[in-house]
Amino acid sequence: MSVYFIVAIAVIIGLAIATAAFCWPNRVFIRSAIAAICAWALPYVAEFAIGPFLGEGAGMGVAIILYVLSATIFLAAISASLGAAARYIWMAVRE
């Protein structure tokens, strides 16, 4: 997989989440804030929880997987917040 393909997938997923948040903006900002806090804490908590079950050479691979998962959660939270903000701006402009 090339980097461009991965970026294209991230853009498509981000737009889909933003569109869903645009259509249903109920409590999106608080949910996005909670998701961002959880994404920030996920690598540390998961490494502490599963650390004893890993072997000696698994540290960097597990860290990369956890950081990618954390970045995906951040992407979803930011996309949802931007979609809901666009909805509120759209409604304010229309009135």
pLDDT tens column, 21-74: 988 888 888 989 999 998 888 888 888 888 777 777 777 788 888 888 899 999
- Please tell me the distance from the alpha carbon of residue 20 to that of residue 37, in angstroms, as a whole number: 21
- Predicted structure pTM score: 0.78
Q: Where are the domains of the chain?
A: 3-94
**pLDDT score of 83:** 92
